[in-house]
Chain A
Amino acid sequence: MAGDGGHVLDLDQAKYDADEQVKIICLGDSAVGKSKLMERFLMDGYRPQQLSTYALTLYKYATAVDGKAVVVDFWDTAGQERFQSMHPSYYHKAHACVMVFDVQRKITYKNLANWYKELREYRPEIPCIVVANKIDADMKVTQRNFNFAKKQGLPLYYVSAADGTNVVKLFKDAIKLALAYKQNSRDFMDEVMRELENFELDAKEERSSEREAELFLEDSEVA
């Protein structure tokens, strides 16, 4: 599987190693409202980049955190099973994860366990926020404990993409977590990748695309 170059996106993912660049992935079942959340955060008029081949929508967002300019790429992914083969590329080099379920559909909550398991196979350490979306449909759900988050030791946010409750807070916090992770990353894979990159850089400056592919191969094999 890892040898199949088709799983590496044509996108330049090496840029996510630069200090001011972070990558945040949005995961969860189809129709839980991932895109609606992105749109609510970035507001009307924002034009994301559609990469339909990869079942992916990229939202670029420039902001400042503690006076430092940061560029965030939000990877809004498709939940449909037929895009399963794209998942390794989604996780690759991600610095934080926003994992969404729909409070009106139990199955989307139950499936969090699958999403989370897969996430941890590729990214054992990145911060992850669990998001209970569509609370506008039934505010009573905010009185309920959703044990999955607690069990995994993850923060749980109650949000509504429709009325905007906690949406901006969610993404701002996700960006902070992504940056904090990046700055103090003890993620084993990240260290291995940095080592490899330095090694490669010493060896040869060019062939950067091959390096990307090899690193990626390492990534998925270890996972």
Chain B
Amino acid sequence: MSFLAKRCGVKFDPPSIVLVYEESDTKKMRQRIMPVRNFSKFSDCNKAAERLKNNERHRVYLEGVSRKQLERLHVVLRDRLRGRTLEESLAAMEPDPDEDLNKLGDDELARRKARMDELFERNRKRQGDPDFVYDLEVEFHTEDAKEPCSWDEDESDDEV
């Protein structure tokens, strides 16, 4: 029998990761609650996520759930142990593109940056990569073909 992960979430008391999944044979939706053990506000969420993913009893259910996602759920649990509200920790998790990061303190800013770094690292070309070019120049000159940017729209009335 295999299990198709549908959604996951957290429960705060006791700290647990919750998985909603479909049983392939019966097509039944089920919920599995996996308590997070030996977890404190000082825990390493990356390691805790790995531990859960490799857990004897839970691993088959978690095959379709990425370690990154499990890590984020652990961060939410850890945030609660550190006294943050769910809203605060979700806001920090999925950076709001309209949020003014200039107003943040160092910790909060580092957290947003860490999230952005995931994409940076994915797209990064390093020295030594076969397709790395130090001075990579690309022209984007198609002036006439360019679309106006919606970001400029609210200013259109003050244009001559």
Contact = CB atoms under 8 A, between A and B. Distances in A.
B135 A143 contact: no
B12 interface: no
Contacts of B98: 105-107
Nearest to B148: A145
A64 B100 CA distance: 39
Given A104-B97, A143-B142, A147-B149, A111 B102 contact: yes
Interface in A73-106: 79-81, 104-106
Q: How large is the interface on B (under 10, 10 to 19, 20 to 34, 35 or more residues)?
A: 35 or more
Interface stretch (B56-64, B72-80, B111-119): B111-119
Given A30-B104, A164-B134, A147 B140 contact: no
Given A107-B100, A158-B140, A164-B133, 12 more contacts: A80-B102, A80-B103, A81-B103, A105-B97, A144-B146, A144-B147, A146-B149, A163-B136, A167-B136, A168-B134, A168-B135, A168-B136
29 contacts: A30-B101, A31-B109, A31-B116, A33-B120, A43-B127, A44-B126, A44-B127, A79-B102, A80-B101, A106-B97, A107-B99, A136-B119, A143-B145, A143-B146, A143-B147, A144-B146, A144-B147, A145-B147, A145-B152, A147-B152, A147-B159, A158-B138, A160-B123, A162-B121, A162-B124, A163-B123, A163-B136, A165-B136, A165-B138
